[in-house]
Structure 1
Amino acid sequence: MTDPIRIEADYLIETAYVPEQAAEIMAGEQSSGTFRPVPGETPELKERAAARVERLTSMGTFEAPSLPGACQPTDGQNYQRAHVTLSWPQDNLGPSLPNLIATIAGNLFELKPFSGLRLLDVRLPSPFAAAYPGPKFGIEGTRRLAGVEGRPLIGTIIKPSVGLNAEDTGALASELCQGGIDFIKDDELQADGPACPFDDRVRTVMAAVNAAADRTGKKTMVAFNLTGEIDEMRRRHDLVLAEGGTCIMASVNAVGMSGMIALGRHTQLPIHAHRCGWGALTRSPMLGWAYPAWSKLWRLAGADHMHVNGIDNKFSEDNDSVIASARSLSDPMFKANPMRAVPVFSSGQTVHQAPATLAAAGSDDLLVTAGGGVVAHPDGVAAGVTAMREAYEAALSGVDLQAYAKDHPALAAALKAF
């Protein structure tokens, strides 16, 4: 009998139970079982529908639980950690991303036998690739639309994040375009409020972008934040497209998986996926999601660019985690379609991080978005753009930033200011 097509997911668990017993509880809870045997769960049904424990590797013992509310060890035993791989028959759910989330990351996090549980990675069978488009543009399409080859894309964020009206935003975009910026994005807090309506902002910013493109031949890519309800996002996308825009942005945790799928199927522009809210899913090392598992689902739904935080960032994530996240976006999801996404480095980025960021990405296929690191340059916005580009020129050439700055005053000023 041929084994059915299966989905696999890897976890890190911590438990007061024998790890093998805890893993079987996970498998039962997320497939055919419940807290006690029921008459309908026959051996035949379990053979057809039950999740399986594929692998288990012990990771040692620990005296204190990582999370509250879990069962206590008995007979003086310690808590135990293990890596566990579960698998499910795809026939349980079909190639459905929303139902995949319920299967691999549903009630597991609440189970009392676990004082820690973290989803590390997921591997999906080919029917998922047939059901979802994945990124429509990726790095190749992004480079083509932005007119940038052979180096990272240099971007920035409209700052202040909120408070500017549409005219102010357009004026700042005009300065940035004149400075030669490759990419501009809305802050995730700037959406469609009465102080800066989406439609007005798009028209004003695109007037500045198009005017600069007419003069220079270079069209800056702008990621307009169209986060909203599904019909709103479709309408906003269509406006950006009609005005000559080349990118849209959505906050994926806010729009949800179904919203992202709908946007991915509708869009004719790259999707810049913002991860605001991600910290709540990952900050505890023994709870939630690891980035490779989480980002694969959004890649499958259509994300072309994905935020990975930044080197020496302003948040709590360490550099090793940022590097692992960035590189995971190049991990192929399927043989026929790798569905790679562009890593977006952000959060407190300045010229100083350029060499480490380039090394972290492992190639120049990246986008850096520095808000204050560009807009707050002491010699003005245009100098901020120039300084950031010079920093990456130096990093690509393997030249020390301070040495390069001797003949590049904008970089020298930025190194001193930041």
Structure 2
Amino acid sequence: MEPRVYATYWIETAFPLQQAAETMAGEQSTGTFVRVPGETDELREAHAARVEELVELGEVAAPSLPGSVLPRSGESVRRTARVVLSWPISNMGLSLPNLLATINGNLSELKAFSGLRLIDLKLPAEFLTRYQGPHFGVEGTRKLAGVYDRPIIGTIIKPSVGLSPEATAEQVRVLVEAGIDFIKDDELQADGPHCPFSARISAVMRVINEHADRTGRKVMYAANLTGEIDEMLARHDHVLAEGGTCIMASMNSIGLPAMKVLRAHSELPIHGHRNGWGLLGRSPAIGMSYIAFQKLWRLAGIDHTHVNGIDNKFCETNESVIASARECLSPMFDPPHPGCEIMPVFSSGQSAKQAAPTFRALGSIDCMFAAGGGIMAHPGGPAAGVRALRQAWEAAVAGVPAEEAARDAPELREALDAFGG
């Protein structure tokens, strides 16, 4: 039996649910609005998408999106449902771009729907014959960072843009001396004339290498090499030559084919930045969940990805954040195939106060915990900010309330007082 791709959707429609689901299946496989010559029964049997599951969820009072229509019957009650469709892999081949056209395609524009969102995806392991998946993942990242028994504590270069290579390197000097594990470029900082990529990386790596020579501990720096494919490959080579241990790319900016090329070339972990995902994910009525989205990029080869954070500064709920993080740490394929697990990165307004709820919800220390102001704005300075985060996570893992642990940890006490208790 031919392996199949399975995609799960949430839909909202005034049309009969079975009819709506069959419309989706037809639109994204063999059918159009009318039977056409050549669409034989044999062709449909071999290539038509199947409706594997249809579960009604409830009614809504008003359409969630504009532009939908009502059926000719005059029915105006809109229902929601969960729909699972499947396709044979021969329809799209082992191709992520064509997979995306199949599972997403024109569905979101169909007039029959006042809401349609991709919420999950299950791929057959045959995709691993063409795509490499993560090279380093959780284990390889921990080895390069030298951190094994706790989350990797990270931060971001701020201001995002405007710093010269020398000023960036000086900020890195402060951070490595503070005991940070991981530093990343902001996604807005790439190769501007005020801070050319090569000059910035050379200046930063001089600081990191000198610190490593002195202490035996090399801080991981994710250099943002986002650009055209040839630029990214050359920038990777420069990072590698300078002794760097990580690169970063903005996933939505470069696309899946470019990420596949970068993964095949790279000798370093790829930090996949998700900026722009809000266009796909913010509305509950359209786009796709991050659970589905990150699977495409894991297969293409990223090793880390942002999942937002508990009580973040953006619009994503805590439940969505944790579901995404758990999915990053879950196998993508059935045994005995590689799991392609990657490191979830918690960020966005994080500080010591979020360590305990993050650990309780995630149930794992396999993550990066990135704080900007939570480190740099600590009353005792960046070193105290890093210590406070470590103290907060140590208490969380031990099951000790942060307020109790803070009695014997002044850095944690100051952090809780400064960032909201």
2: distance between equivalents of 1:133 and 1:202? 27
Structural mapping, 1:157-196, within 5 Å: 157-196=156-195
Matching residue of 1:246: 245
Report the alpha carbon displacement of residue 76 of structure 1 after superposing the two structures with TM: 4.6
- 1:239, 1:358 → 2: CA distance? 37
Which residue does the alignment assign to 1:216? 215
Counterpart residue identity of residue 124, structure 1:
L
Report 1:290-305 matches (<5 A). 290-305=289-304
Alignment of structure 1 residues 49-128 onto 2, 5 Å: 49-72=47-70, 74-128=73-127
Q: How many Å separate the matches in 1 of 2:5 and 2:52?
A: 11
The residue that corresponds to 2:145 in the other structure is 146
Per-residue CA deviations over 1:124-183 (Å, capped at 9, x if unaligned) read 112101111101101100110000111111011111111211111101111111111100
SS of the counterpart of 2:9? strand
* Equivalent of residue 23 in structure 2, options 16, 22, 25: 25
Note the C-alpha offset of 1:417: 1.7
Moved more, 386-395 or 182-191: 386-395
What whole-Å deviation, never above 9, does each CA across 1:311-343 have from its counterpart, x for those lacking one? 000001111111111111122112211101111
2:88 alignment partner AA? P
AA paired with 1:181? I
Give me the whole-angstrom Cα distance separating, in 1, the residues matched to 2:193 and 2:92.
42
SS at match of 1:36: coil
- Aligned pairs (5 A) from 1:303-314: 303-314=302-313
Could you give the per-residue CA deviations for residues 245-299 of structure 1, whole angstroms, max 9, x where no partner exists? 0001111011111111111111111111111011110111111101111110000
State the TM-score, normalizing by the size of structure 1. 0.97
Distance of 1:352 and 1:63 partners within structure 2: 39
User: Secondary structure of 1:167's partner?
Assistant: helix
Residue deviations 1:228-256, cap 9 Å, x none?
11111111111111111000111101111
Q: CA separation in 2, counterparts of 1:114 and 1:265?
A: 40
Separation of aligned partners in 1, 2:61 and 2:184: 47
1:4 CA drift (Å): 2.0
Letter paired with 1:267: S
Separation in 1 of the partners of 2:69 and 2:88?
30
Pair 1:16 & 2:14 matched: yes
CA distance in 2 between counterparts of 1:232 and 1:135 reads: 21
Distance of 1:405 and 1:4 partners within structure 2: 58
Q: Which amino acid aligns with 1:60?
A: G
Rounded to whole Å, the distance in 1 between the matches of 2:383 and 2:171 is 10
Map of 1:360 onto structure 2? 361
Partner residue, 2:233: 234
Structure 2 distance, partners of 1:404, 1:163, is 39
Corresponding position of 1:332:
331
Per the alignment, residue 129 of structure 2 pairs with 130
Does the CA-based 8 Å contact 2:134-2:303 persist in structure 1? yes
Separation in structure 2 between the aligned mates of residue 166 and residue 394 of structure 1, nearest angstrom: 37
1:275-290 aligned within 5 A? 275-290=274-289
Distance 1:355 1:58 in 2: 37
Aligned to 1:406: 407
What CA distance in whole angstroms lies between the structure 2 residues aligned with 1:381 and 1:165?
21
Instruction: Tell me, yes or no, if the aligned pair for 1:28 and 1:50 is still in contact at 8 Å.
Output: yes
Q: For the Cα contact (< 8 Å) 1:159–1:372, is it kept in 2? A: no
Gaps of at least 5 residues in structure 2 are: none
| 1:57-87: CA deviation from partner (whole Å, max 9, x where unpaired) | 1112222111110012543540011111111
Letter in 2 for 1:359: R
How far apart in 1 are the matches of 2:362 and 2:204? 30
Q: Distance in 2 between matches of 1:382 and 1:214?
A: 20
Matched residue type, 1:390: Q
Task: Output one character per residue of 1:327-367: Cα deviation in whole Å (capped at 9) or x when no partner.
Answer: 11122112211101111000000111010112222211010
The CA RMSD measured in Å over matched residues stands at: 1.1
Deviation at 1:414, TM superposition (A): 1.7
CA distance, structure 1, for counterparts of residue 59 and residue 8 of structure 2: 19
Identical amino acids, percent of aligned pairs: 60
Name the SS of the counterpart of 2:287 in structure 1.
strand
> What is the CA–CA distance in structure 2 between the aligned matches of 1:116 and 1:397, rounded to whole Å?
44
Q: Is the 8 A contact 1:311 1:356 kept in 2?
A: yes
Q: Distance in 2 between matches of 1:143 and 1:330?
A: 14
1:381 paired to 2:379: no
* Structure 1 spans left out of the alignment, 5+ residues: none
SS at match of 1:91: coil
How far apart, in 1, do the equivalents of 2:82 and 2:273 lie?
A: 29
- 1:82-128: CA deviation from partner (whole Å, max 9, x where unpaired): 11111111111111001100000110010111100010111111210
